[in-house]
C-alpha cells in the first residue's frame, strides 16, 4: 500500500488563520495529516509576499501555487499528481488578498486551481487540507473518497453478485 509522505509537504500561507469554524476545520485535518507543516507569512504587497515565500522555500522544494487561473484537477487527478511527485518536497502556496506576483508565478513549478471561484485564503487553506487528506486516502485505497469510479465499481459488484 502506498502512502503520501506528509513530512515532505508544506503549506505556505499568506496571513494568519483567525479563530472560528475555519480554524477548527483546519485543525481537524491537521490532526489527520501528521507531519504536514503549515507556515504563515505576514500579508503585505504581492512583491513582498513573493520575496518572503521564496526565502522560506527549502532546497529542491517544488513550488505549487494556488490560483483561480491555475490548472484544474479532479480529486483523483490531484491524488495521482501528488503520488507522482511524492519523492519531492512540495510547498503549496496560498496567496494573500491580492494574489501572487508575476515574479512568483514565473518561478512556480505548477499553478493549481481549487476552483474557478475565488476563495478567502482561510477557506482555501481548509479546502486544500481536505483535498490533501482526500488524496492520501485515495492513494491508500481508503473508503473516504466516493466518486463515479467508486460507485460504478460497487454497482458492478452488486450486479455480478446477484447473477
- The cell for 43 is 500579508
Distance of CA 33 to the CA centre of its chain: 12
Q: How confident is the model at residue 154 (pLDDT cuts 50, 70, 90)?
A: low
Q: What is the DSSP letter of 47?
A: H
Please provide the average confidence, as pLDDT, over all residues in the chain: 90
> 155 falls in which pLDDT band (50, 70, 90)?
low
Query: SS3 sequence, 37-102?
Result: EEEEECCCCHHHHHHHHHHHCCCCEEEEEEEEEEEECCHHHHHHHHHHCCCCEEEEEECECCECCH
What is the pTM for the complete model shown? Answer: 0.87
Region 139-146: what's the mean pLDDT?
A: 88
One CATH from 1.10.3720.10, 1.20.1540.10, 3.40.1280.10, 3.40.35.10 for 6-161: 3.40.1280.10
Please determine, for residue 159, whether its predicted confidence score (pLDDT) is greater than 70: no
Residue owning grid cell 481508503:
142
Where are the domains positioned within the chain?
A: 6-161
Amino acid at each position: 500500500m502506498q502512502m503520501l509522505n506528509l513530512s515532505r509537504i508544506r503549506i505556505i500561507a499568506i496571513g494568519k488563520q483567525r479563530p472560528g469554524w475555519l480554524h477548527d476545520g483546519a485543525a481537524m485535518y491537521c490532526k489527520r495529516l501528521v507531519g504536514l507543516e503549515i507556515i504563515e507569512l505576514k500579508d503585505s504587497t504581492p512583491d513582498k509576499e513573493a520575496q518572503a515565500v521564496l526565502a522560506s522555500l527549502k532546497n529542491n522544494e517544488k513550488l505549487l501555487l494556488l490560483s483561480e487561473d491555475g490548472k484544474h484537477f479532479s480529486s483523483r487527478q490531484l491524488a495521482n499528481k501528488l503520488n507522482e511527485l511524492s519523492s519531492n518536497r512540495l510547498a503549496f502556496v496560498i496567496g494573500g488578498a491580492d494574489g501572487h506576483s508575476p515574479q512568483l508565478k514565473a518561478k512556480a513549478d505548477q499553478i493549481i486551481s481549487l476552483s474557478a471561484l475565488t476563495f478567502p485564503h482561510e477557506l482555501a487553506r481548509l479546502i486544500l487540507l481536505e483535498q490533501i487528506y482526500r488524496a492520501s486516502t485515495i492513494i491508500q485505497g481508503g473508503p473516504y473518497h466516493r466518486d463515479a469510479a467508486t460507485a460504478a465499481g460497487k454497482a458492478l459488484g452488486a450486479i455480478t453478485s446477484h447473477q
